[in-house]
Structure 1
Amino acid sequence: MDPSRIVGHIGWGVKPLLEKLMPEETPERITEARLKFLEIYGEHLVVETTLYPGVVDVLDQFTRLGKKLAVVTNKPEALAAGILEVMKLGGYFRLLLGGDSLPNRKPHPEPIEKAIKDLGGAPERTIVVGDSPVDCEAAKGAGAYAIGAAYGFRGRGELEAAGCDIIIDDFSSLKSVIL
């Protein structure tokens, strides 16, 4: 399968990804494929995964400044926790919500609203950084400010169309945008 077909669907979660890539399959077959996908993904969480330049520096600075950071992802929570652990990033975040943590996942605003509530924040003082339209849509639905990361899986055009408030081209830019 052409990888470009896959990249366009990353961010929505495994089941929607498989439904888009295998539209002719039955729900039962999608469920089987999802379980196999998660099994294989769990065994290879960070193969060929590297941090974007500047990530640790930015997270260090935000942590020193007392910023309350959370990860809200459509990945299953256990897999996301494993990635954070292997990449040595878990200590930066006060909260992790996965796609299986709540009844709704992004683009529904519920996960962002829950993170804001759990961290004692306010929507108008919350910034969501994401690399996909689902992130921008969830942020805006929760009343938060949405920063699109054009260095991720989606380009600037998709993030602009999704209504991101600002778009950055590298992670290090967050310091100048937020501080």
Structure 2
Amino acid sequence: MSPPPALIFDLDGTLIDSLPDLAAAVNRLLAAEGLAPMARAEVQSYVGDGAPALVHRVMAARGLAAERHADLTTRLVADYSALPAELTTVYPHVFETLTNLRQHGHPLGLCTNKPGAATGAVLSALGLALLFDVVISGDSLPERKPHPAPLLAAIDRLGAPAIFVGDSEVDARTAEAAGLPFFLFTKGYLRVPLSEISVTATFDDFADFRELIATLPATP
């Protein structure tokens, strides 16, 4: 019998709802610039590709000068990293499901575009840090998702065939580029119609996730 596959998860929008803290950080940045705040839905439409892309989109929406991108990105990341889990919540059944998967022999990894400092702070604050064998953050490598390099690095360190679990079109493209099955959590931050991405399976509650894994053919 083949060993259980490794399971690699995205973080924001997959395991946690971090948008309240991301939106708060964006709005603190805008307030410092004397600009009006953004609603959650607008911030959500800008996330998924890492902090630099988020800041670029916020700047474009508010007419901030492009040459300020590096400075504003540094400020946003520092501010968010200092308060990464004030309003963030873990989605229902995530903790018990990941714990159960570990107990049944699945190596667990995390592959996120969130910067490493913020990733570590969030995982520690929410009690998730000890669940993962490997964590690849947005600044672990020169490339970010949807480039396959971060996901391939996680697979290499886990040393097992893997399934990628995410919530967005960025995650779907990453899995496709890496040649992995992709499971979509449908209550996350997907910005395009489901018909536009390639998925192996979908689910909307982590209570059903382990059973879903068990019913699918073994990974190659």
**Under a length normalisation based on structure 1, what TM-score does the superposition of the two structures give?**
0.91
Q: Percent identity?
A: 31
Q: Secondary structure at the match of 1:148?
A: strand
What is the one-letter code of the residue matched to 1:141? A
Shift of 1:27: 4.2
Report the Cα distance in structure 1 between the residues aligned to 2:145 and 2:194, rounded to whole angstroms. Answer: 15
Find the counterpart in structure 1 of residue 48 from structure 2: 11
Where do residues 1-179 of structure 1 align in structure 2 (5 Å cutoff)?
1-23=38-60, 24-122=63-161, 126-154=162-190, 158-179=193-214
Q: Which has the higher contact order (CA 8 A, sep 6+)?
A: 2
Shift of 1:94: 0.4
Shift of 1:72: 0.5
Instruction: Check conservation: 2:184, 2:199, Cα contact below 8 A.
Output: yes
Q: Secondary structure at the match of 1:111?
A: helix
| Gapped regions of structure 2 (runs ≥ 5) | 1-37, 215-220
Shift of 1:25: 4.0
Report the Cα distance in structure 1 between the residues aligned to 2:208 and 2:193, rounded to whole angstroms. Answer: 19
Instruction: Check conservation: 1:160, 1:167, Cα contact below 8 A.
Output: no
Report the Cα distance in structure 1 between the residues aligned to 2:40 and 2:126, rounded to whole angstroms. Answer: 24
What is the one-letter code of the residue matched to 1:164? V
Report the Cα distance in structure 1 between the residues aligned to 2:182 and 2:195, rounded to whole angstroms. Answer: 11
Deviations 1:102-133 (A, max 9, x none): 111100111111111111123xxx11111111
Instruction: Check conservation: 2:107, 2:133, Cα contact below 8 A.
Output: yes
Report the Cα distance in structure 1 between the residues aligned to 2:150 and 2:169, rounded to whole angstroms. Answer: 15
Find the counterpart in structure 1 of residue 7 from structure 2: none
What is the one-letter code of the residue matched to 2:206? F
| Gapped regions of structure 1 (runs ≥ 5) | none
Shift of 1:161: 1.6
Aligned length: 175
Report the Cα distance in structure 2 between the residues aligned to 1:111 and 1:32, rounded to whole angstroms. Answer: 25
Instruction: Check conservation: 1:69, 1:94, Cα contact below 8 A.
Output: yes
Instruction: Check conservation: 1:132, 1:159, Cα contact below 8 A.
Output: no
**Under a length normalisation based on structure 2, what TM-score does the superposition of the two structures give?**
0.75
Pick the structure with greater CA Rg. Answer: 2
Using a 3 Å threshold, how does the CA distance of structure 1 residues 159 and 83 change in structure 2: closer, same or farther? farther
